[in-house]
Structure 1
Amino acid sequence: MRANVSSPRGDSRAAKAARDIIDGVTNYPVWGTLAWQDIRQRYRRSVLGPFWITLTMLVTIAGMGPLYGALLKIDLHAFVPHLALGIITWGLISGLIIDGCACFSAVETIVRSVRLPLTLHVMRSLWRNIVMFGHNILAYLPVMILLRIPPHWSWLLAIPGVLLVMIAAFPASIILGVFCTRFRDMQPIVGSIVQLAFFLTPIIWTPEALGSRAYLANYNPLYLFMEIVRGPIYGGIPSAEIYLGAIGVTVVLYLIAVPLFARFRARIAFWI
């Protein structure tokens, strides 16, 4: 009798989760509008709006580039583009992680008062960060002009890299959103880990600095996703190991996120 009762319950729970994911992902008019509203609300009284972040990145690049280039004894023409693209891409990845933690808890009022797919709020977070990344990439233009870096067709390969980052960020946001909604202490912990990860990821340093242990950088999942975006623009097409590693991490994230969301989706509203 127990087997007969639990099976339909599990099927029903999985079906509801699948319907939530489909409805949330495909409802672009809603999550797209909400994401734009978030950006306008955040920078409503600002003169430069979200371009303050772009300006901050540009100042950081201008300050850190010559300093760390001299400390690491790397030619500025090689190091500054590496640093600039690293900081810009890190802004996307870290933003996705931090916002993923609050993708449910930050919209408490909407979750409780409006019947919407929960994954719609995940898509809202993803779209908000991709829009921010779209104008933050403008911080690379002064670097191109000053160092006379001509654009190349290989740069277009960064677009599939960004898409893969977003595909991986979807299950990662679900995982982080569920745990950070259930355990509120998780969000500041994740924030601290992200700060530490900045220094452990080749952004202000290069893998070559590790010498014979440069291969260890490939075991950093954040480096893999950063490299599939930065690599085509900075140093050519990343190796197959980089792409396979990023795809492997993405698959693992989905294997964790799908059953987790199916089991705890109905409890998120009560945890909030």
Structure 2
Amino acid sequence: MQASVSSPRGESRAAKAARDVIEGVTNYPVWATFAWQDIRQRYKRSVLGPFWITLTMLVTIAGMGPLYGALFKIDLHTFVPYLALGIITWGLLSSLILDGCACFSAVETVVRSVRLPLTLHVMRAMWRNFVMFGHNILAYVPIMLFLGIAPKWTWLMAIPGALLVLLAAFPASIILGIFCTRFRDMQPIVGSIVQLAFFLTPIIWKPEALGERAYLASFNPLAVFMEIVRGPIYGTIPSQNIYLGAIGITVVLYLIAAPLFVRFRSRIAFWI
């Protein structure tokens, strides 16, 4: 692993933060290796490994699909793919948020003992969750076979959507990582908010169920990022406003994360 180069004397905090970001993001061999080690360690003694999560998602979809389809009186051929893609995408969004809270505190030994860019640990958490999402999407294959859903070229639109999610996850992880490292009570609070957000985000329900208030769903940032990934695969290409909303949220996150990281980057190791 390559340790970061010692900073020149007299270098400003902004320059140090910028160099941290550049070195952390571009040091792919280190954060990718760390991410793979995290996955292997988590499922070291498991027969199915991370595919346990995929299997759990499939069982959840199989149980919730017919139930909520009947409750909302929606045809299963329409509702089950919507629910399946919603749960799979939510797995990515929620894990990025929760792991973002612990992106620094969970690796306190490394932060204290090795001089590495702090943003490298952010990339490590993001890449770990993106790999998990890559095999969790396989839970959709049995549903495709059962319902006779054929792949379409429009599905490729989900790729830029997923990349935009990761682009937004970077500053969000920095913001959450800083606050949850400084105030340890914030991490369980964020976890509770994420649990509540599951029911407030159109995953097991459709915005149309709100009737005249369907527009309220678009004010949920998680619903916006959910749609740019789920929509193309489900068969509804997100509107221009959805993409503009996702880009706008991403820009705001960077505007918040940048000054926070510049000011508190040097204190994170002491807070840990």
TM-score of the superposed pair, with normalisation by structure 2: 0.96
> Hey, what's the Cα distance between the residues in 2 that align with 1:163 and 1:18?
22
- Asked whether the 8 Å contact 1:96–1:169 carries over to 2, the reply is yes
Task: Find the counterpart in structure 1 of residue 7 from structure 2.
Answer: none
Match for residue 258 of structure 1? 258
Letter aligned with residue 262 of structure 2: A
- Aligned counterparts of 1:70 and 1:190: Cα–Cα separation in 2: 32
> How many residue pairs end up in the alignment?
264
CA RMSD for the aligned pairs?
1.0
| Post-superposition CA distance 1:136-161 (Å, at most 9, x none) | 00000011001001100000000000
- Quote the Cα distance in structure 1 between the aligned partners of 2:74 and 2:148: 18
Alignment of 1:190 onto 2:190: yes
Aligned partner of 1:43: which letter?
Y
**Aligned residue number for residue 231 of structure 1:** 231
Q: Which residue of 2 aligns with 1:76?
A: 76
For 1:62-101, what aligned pairs fall within 5 Å after superposition?
Answer: 62-101=62-101
Q: Aligned partners of 1:159 and 1:235: how far apart in 2? A: 14
Q: How far apart are 1:235 and its partner, in Å? A: 2.6
* Residue pair 1:178, 1:268 contacting (<8 A) in 2 also: yes
SS of match in other structure, 1:251: helix
Equivalent position SS for 2:204: coil
Q: Which amino acid aligns with 2:242?
A: I
- Unpaired segments ≥5 residues, structure 2: 1-9
- Measured against aligned partners, the alpha-carbon deviations of 1:209-262 in whole angstroms (never above 9, x if no partner) come to 001111111000000000000000003210111101100000000000011000
**Over residues 84-112 of structure 1, what are the superposed CA-to-partner deviations in whole Å (9 max), with x where a residue is unaligned?**
00000000000000000000000000000
Deviation at residue 42 of structure 1 after TM alignment: 0.2
Question: Displacement, 1:81?
Answer: 0.3
Q: Whole-Å Cα distance in 2 between the matches of residues 120 and 66 of structure 1?
A: 43
Q: Counterpart in 1 of 2:212? A: 212
1:154–1:236 CA contact under 8 A, matched in 2: no
Aligned amino acid, residue 45 of structure 1? R
Could you tell me which residue of structure 1 aligns to residue 141 of structure 2? 141
Contact kept, 8 Å, 2:154 with 2:235, in 1: the verdict is: no
Q: Measure the CA separation in 2 of the matches of 1:108 and 1:133.
A: 25
Higher helix fraction: Structure 1 or Structure 2? 1
Paired residue type of 2:171 = P
Aligned residue number for residue 4 of structure 2: none
196-205 vs 235-244, which moves further: 235-244
3-state SS of 1:180 partner: helix
1:246 aligns with 2:252: no
Matched with 1:57 is: 57
- Give the TM-score normalised by the residue count of structure 1: 0.96
**Separation in structure 1 between the aligned mates of residue 222 and residue 184 of structure 2, nearest angstrom:** 24
Q: Any idea what the Cα deviations from partners look like across 1:148-188, whole Å, max 9, x if unmatched?
A: 01100000000000000000000000000000000000000
Q: Distance in 1 between matches of 2:60 and 2:236?
A: 24
Matches of 1:63 and 1:213, distance apart in 2: 29
Superposed structure 1 runs of 4+ greater than 3 Å apart: none
